[in-house]
């Protein structure tokens, strides 16, 4: 029997509801997977990065050495956040602790962290948060409930088995205390944060994760903080948004999503820039800027935020290939942001030709045509339309009404290879 004890009778605070709306308006976030694993750069295997400890079965006693060499002296939070801003990204979600158990912040409930165990010795999350505050970017913390390092993460789940060298015993309640201790640090030492992005419950489904305790602790410390969990199932009570890993809401092309439920909560889809979350030197499968923009647009049309990942290098720099792509995405957003930010997934459901977004006052709809071979597009819509224009040059779109909707003329010269955006005044 799964005994999860989600936060029962949860009533989100007004602040929380406001933040949910802010979150939905923000639409675009940067996911950052950064930890001591980046120094192994995937170890020559495509598809391994932040999982290297488990994939290569590296015992704790050996893996801990990675801390001894982690010295990202070129980490410049000001540069990171400025780059984020110029891309049109509104929030950052960074790994505070991944499955390897290593904290990228100054933890007092453990010394297995960046301040105590690395020559760098600085609190990366604090540095980043200070800069985010200065530049007006919200910061969320990813936190892995799964832990391959802590001895009390016992009984073990599907991963982090005997190769780690931990005793085959442990006190689960102690682990929950430790986790809640770290979460308390994250929610008290870094000012107001966007929220907590949980991951890892899928490691042991039948465990009592004491979500009631953890979720109410978070909401008590910061009632406005949004909680989301990447458990791949429908949201539990106490969660404030629903997330989908590398898939649009409701889809399951990657094999992660275990639910057909799309909740009325704010939605978020996360995606990699290549195929890896953490830095992998061999992974050159970089998605084109076109593919990334189209996925962002698709996410918006599915009423979801887009959380796009980068895995920084051991020296603290962001991969150049990622910066180049983000620059192009930023240029597109600076021209077309009006059709994405502050909108909701359109009243015209996603179609093979593309998606629609709509302003919150429902006066303007945007059609994002992502695939079109014909010179005309039939759109099923039974509302009244005042005018349709091409968003890029305000020229009028010729259209006629049909029994089922509207037939729009889209001559080839007016089409854009990435997204032909039409503005529809309702
Ligand atoms: O195992 C993790 C993985 O390393 C990464 O953090 C992703 C991000 O969504 N989540 C997990 C897999 O579901």
What are 184-240's pLDDT values in tens digits?
A: 999 999 999 999 999 999 999 999 999 999 999 999 999 999 999 999 999 999 999
Confidence of residue 3 (pLDDT cuts 50, 70, 90): very low
Confidence of residue 7 (pLDDT cuts 50, 70, 90): confident
Is 268's C-beta closer than 6 angstroms to any atom of ligand 1?
A: no
At residue 328, the 3 state secondary structure works out as: helix
Nearest protein Cα to ligand 1, atom 9: 245
At residue 174, the 3 state secondary structure works out as: helix
pLDDT higher than 90, residue 143: yes
Closest ligand 1 atom to residue 95 Cα is 6
pLDDT tens, 75-118?
A: 999 999 999 999 999 999 999 999 999 999 999 999 999 999 99
Alpha carbons within 13 A on the beta-carbon side of 232? 17
- Are the beta carbons of 147 and 164 closer than 8 angstroms? no
Closest ligand 1 atom to residue 277 Cα is 5
**Phi, psi for 412 (deg, rounded to 5):** -50, -40
Residue with tokens 């029997």: 1
User: Which two structure tokens, joined as six digits, stand for 207?
Assistant: 């465990």
Q: List strand residue ranges (DSSP E) for 168-285, in order.
A: 195-199, 226-229, 242-245, 267-271
Average confidence score pLDDT of the chain: 96
> Is the pTM of the predicted complex or chain greater than 0.95?
yes
State the distance from the centre of ligand 1 to the C-alpha of 200, rounded, in angstroms. Answer: 8
Nearest protein Cα to ligand 1, atom 10: 199
State the distance from the centre of ligand 1 to the C-alpha of 149, rounded, in angstroms. Answer: 17
Is 308's C-beta closer than 6 angstroms to any atom of ligand 1?
A: no
State the distance from the centre of ligand 1 to the C-alpha of 426, rounded, in angstroms. Answer: 41
Dihedral (Cα; 274, 276, 279, 282), 10-degree rounding: -70
């Amino acid at each position: 029997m799964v005994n999860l004890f989600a936060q029962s009778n949860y009533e989100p605070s007004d602040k929380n509801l406001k933040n949910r709306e802010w979150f939905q308006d923000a639409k675009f976030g940067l996911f950052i997977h950064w930890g001591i694993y980046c120094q192994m750069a995937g170890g020559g295997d495509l598809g391994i990065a932040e999982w290297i400890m488990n994939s290569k079965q590296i015992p704790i006693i050996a893996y801990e050495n990675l801390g001894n060499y982690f010295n990202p002296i070129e980490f410049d939070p000001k540069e990171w956040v400025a780059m984020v801003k110029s891309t049109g990204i509104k929030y950052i979600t960074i790994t505070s602790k991944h499955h390897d158990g290593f904290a990228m912040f100054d933890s007092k409930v453990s010394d297995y962290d960046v301040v105590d165990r690395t020559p760098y010795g600085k609190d990366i999350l604090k540095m980043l948060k200070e800069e985010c505050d200065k530049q007006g970017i919200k910061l969320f913390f990813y936190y892995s409930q799964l832990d391959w390092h802590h001895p009390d993460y016992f009984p073990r789940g599907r991963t982090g088995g005997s190769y780690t060298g931990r005793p085959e015993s442990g006190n689960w309640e102690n682990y929950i205390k430790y986790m809640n201790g770290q979460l308390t640090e994250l929610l008290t030492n870094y000012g107001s944060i966007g929220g907590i992005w949980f991951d890892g419950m899928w490691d042991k489904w039948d465990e009592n994760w004491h979500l009631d305790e953890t979720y109410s602790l978070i909401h008590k410390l910061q009632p406005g903080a949004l909680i989301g969990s990447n458990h791949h199932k429908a949201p539990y009570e106490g969660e404030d948004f629903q997330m989908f890993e590398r898939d649009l809401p409701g889809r399951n092309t990657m094999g992660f999503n275990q639910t057909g439920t799309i909740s009325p909560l704010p939605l978020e889809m996360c995606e990699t820039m290549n195929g890896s979350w953490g830095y992998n030197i061999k992974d050159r499968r970089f998605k084109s800027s076109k593919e990334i923009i189209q996925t962002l647009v698709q996410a918006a049309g599915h009423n979801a935020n887009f959380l796009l990942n980068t895995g920084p290098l051991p020296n603290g720099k962001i991969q150049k290939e990622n910066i180049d792509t983000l620059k192009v995405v930023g240029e597109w957003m600076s021209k077309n942001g009006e059709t994405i930010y502050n909108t909701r997934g359109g009243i015209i459901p996603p179609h093979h030709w593309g998606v629609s977004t709509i302003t919150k006052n429902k006066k303007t709809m945007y059609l994002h045509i992502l695939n079109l071979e014909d010179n005309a597009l039939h759109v099923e819509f039974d509302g009244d339309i005042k005018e349709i224009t091409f968003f890029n040059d305000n020229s009028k779109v010729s259209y006629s009404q049909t029994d089922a909707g509207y037939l729009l003329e889209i001559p080839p010269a007016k089409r854009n290879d990435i997204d032909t955006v039409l503005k529809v005044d309702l």
